[in-house]
């Protein structure tokens, strides 16, 4: 086995340059703390970008993985398996859903959702009803279909021609959707209840209610991309509950496996029926190890005291960041819900979110950015309150140095 020591420099030698990772390499984690190769400790407010929902090395997840790993890892989709069936049942019990499709990533769950929407319209209406309406600045993944549905042209540059039949409306502007939607052509409207990547921008409740109504009037499916907002992130198991708006299709990934790659597309029995035998698939989708871990995540996160804890931690973190923002004139607003928070930089600091990430690392706290103007936080849903205190203290030191 290759046990040669590795360093950050190796990245540039052996990896394609699509990422620009920081200079530290974390090697171990426990709860909301991680340690790098040199043994330096970091408080983790990144959560692997809303993925490690129960922190690092959670005993329950370790147990679930260990237990399943000794039974069976994988079966083809020519067979089904117990962990996948149990997880699907649990997801149906906890949500509006009646049918589940498992995949491995957010993009792949969205790909399934978009294909299903087209197929459903093809089954029940006409092949002309294939248009998808999404939103400017939306993020739905990096496959060609999902990046085309996403609302950031720069991610398509050089990869065109893109799939057709996709329109982009303005987020939180119902009139812009009205101008694009039609009974003849629109098969689906897809939206993130809180736009994550583009700056942690929550949808207005009235806007989502309006979308539901527009979709109903036009026989279009409403798809919620809850890849980032799902699995307790907002203090609700899924954000649609918080809004009181029920989608026809919902996608879940990131936090679902707590760090193990797994994703799910949830839908109703009527809509799901359109993914008939042979229409779609995924080799690893429904993998037994992944589903066993996700089962433990959902069983844990769906407990009322865990969800309540998210709201309490959210308030503490929000207040702390607002206070730092005011003391140093760096943030004008902290928005988002639960433990998906966006600290919006003041005009004076606009465009410099990355500097805050770098300054945080210097002081031993890992934060995220969402675009150039927002510092994003997406820590473990069970981050200890004392770790929040420590993280805020370290972040304040970082900001102080930056502002000097």
Ligand X SMILES: *Cc1c(COP(=O)(O)O)cnc(C)c1O
- Contact set for ligand X, span 52-91 (CB under 6 A): none
From 137-145, 273-281, 311-319, 320-328, span contacting ligand X (CB under 6 A)? 137-145
From CA 183, how far away is CA 45, in angstroms rounded? 44
Give 43 or 265: the residue with its C-beta nearer to ligand X.
265
From CA 87, how far away is CA 192, in angstroms rounded? 23
**Contact call for residues 358 and 402 (beta carbons, < 8 A):** no
From CA 338, how far away is CA 324, in angstroms rounded? 19
Out of 44, 192, 363, 396, the only residue in the binding site for ligand X (CB under 6 A) is 192
Out of 211, 242, 253, 292, the only residue in the binding site for ligand X (CB under 6 A) is 253
From 80-88, 106-114, 153-161, 202-210, span contacting ligand X (CB under 6 A)? 106-114
Give 68 or 110: the residue with its C-beta nearer to ligand X.
110
Q: How large is the greatest C-alpha to C-alpha distance in the chain, in angstroms?
A: 63
The answer to whether 140 contacts ligand X (rule: CB under 6 A) is yes
Q: State whether residue 349 is helix, strand or coil.
A: helix
The answer to whether 387 contacts ligand X (rule: CB under 6 A) is no
The answer to whether 255 contacts ligand X (rule: CB under 6 A) is no
The answer to whether 141 contacts ligand X (rule: CB under 6 A) is yes
**Which residues, in sequence order, are CB contacts of 120 under 8 Å at separation 6+?**
187, 221, 271, 274
From CA 400, how far away is CA 169, in angstroms rounded? 40
Residue nearest to ligand X (CB): 106
The answer to whether 107 contacts ligand X (rule: CB under 6 A) is yes
Distance in Å, CB of 107 to ligand X, minimum: 3
Out of 106, 232, 255, 379, the only residue in the binding site for ligand X (CB under 6 A) is 106
Q: How many CA atoms lie within 13 A of 322 on its CB side?
A: 11
Give 218 or 267: the residue with its C-beta nearer to ligand X.
267
Task: Count residues near ligand X (CB under 6 A).
Answer: 15
**Contact call for residues 281 and 77 (beta carbons, < 8 A):** yes
Q: State whether residue 236 is helix, strand or coil.
A: coil
Out of 196, 199, 257, 371, the only residue in the binding site for ligand X (CB under 6 A) is 196
From CA 218, how far away is CA 238, in angstroms rounded? 25
The answer to whether 340 contacts ligand X (rule: CB under 6 A) is no
Give 235 or 325: the residue with its C-beta nearer to ligand X.
235
The answer to whether 193 contacts ligand X (rule: CB under 6 A) is no
Residue 221 DSSP symbol = E
The answer to whether 200 contacts ligand X (rule: CB under 6 A) is no
Distance in Å, CB of 92 to ligand X, minimum: 22
- Contact set for ligand X, span 209-238 (CB under 6 A): 225, 227-228
**Contact call for residues 107 and 146 (beta carbons, < 8 A):** yes
Structure tokens at 52: 């490690």
192 vs 99, 224, 265, CA distance in Å?
A: 21, 6, 14
Structure tokens at 141: 């993944």
Distance in Å, CB of 6 to ligand X, minimum: 24
Task: List residues binding ligand X (CB under 6 A).
Answer: 105-107, 110, 139-141, 192, 196-197, 225, 227-228, 253-254
């Amino acid at each position: 086995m290759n046990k040669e020591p590795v360093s950050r420099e190796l990245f540039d030698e052996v990896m394609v340059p699509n990422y620009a990772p920081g200079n530290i390499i974390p090697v171990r984690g426990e709860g909301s703390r991680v340690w790098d190769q040199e043994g330096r400790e970091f408080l983790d407010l990144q959560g692997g970008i809303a993925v490690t929902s129960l922190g690092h090395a959670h005993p329950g997840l370790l147990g679930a993985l260990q237990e399943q790993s000794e039974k069976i890892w994988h079966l083809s989709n020519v067979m089904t398996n117990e962990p996948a069936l149990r997880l699907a049942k649990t997801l149906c019990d906890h949500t509006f859903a009646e049918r589940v499709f498992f995949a491995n990533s957010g993009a792949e769950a969205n790909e399934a959702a978009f294909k299903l929407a087209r197929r459903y319209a093809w089954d029940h209406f006409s092949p002309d009803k294939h248009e998808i309406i999404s939103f400017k600045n939306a993020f739905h993944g990096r496959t060609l279909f999902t990046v085309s549905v996403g609302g950031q042209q720069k991610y398509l540059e050089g990869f065109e021609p893109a799939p057709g039949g996709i329109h982009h409306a303005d987020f939180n502007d119902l009139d812009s959707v009205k101008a694009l939607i039609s009974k003849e052509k629109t098969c689906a409207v897809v939206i993130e209840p809180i736009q994550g990547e583009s700056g942690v921008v929550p949808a207005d409740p009235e806007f989502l209610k309006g979308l539901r109504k527009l979709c109903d009037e036009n026989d279009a499916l409403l798809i919620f991309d809850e890849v980032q907002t799902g699995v307790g992130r907002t203090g609700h198991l899924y954000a649609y509950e918080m809004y009181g708006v029920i989608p026809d299709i919902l996608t879940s990934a990131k936090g679902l496996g707590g760090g193990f790659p797994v994703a799910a597309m949830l839908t109703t029995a009527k809509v799901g029926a359109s993914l008939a035998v042979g229409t779609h698939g995924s080799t690893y989708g429904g993998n037994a190890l992944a589903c066993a871990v996700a089962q433990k995540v959902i069983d844990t996160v769906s407990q009322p005291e865990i969800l309540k804890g998210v709201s309490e931690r959210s308030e503490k973190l929000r207040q702390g960041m607002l206070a730092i923002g005011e003391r140093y004139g760096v943030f004008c607003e902290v928005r988002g819900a639960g433990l998906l928070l966006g600290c919006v930089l003041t005009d004076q600091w606009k465009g410099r979110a990355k500097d805050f990430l770098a300054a945080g690392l210097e002081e031993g706290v890992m934060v995220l950015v969402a675009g150039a103007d927002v510092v994003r936080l997406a820590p473990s849903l069970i981050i200890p309150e004392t770790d929040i205190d420590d993280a805020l203290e370290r972040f304040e030191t970082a900001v102080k140095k930056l502002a000097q």
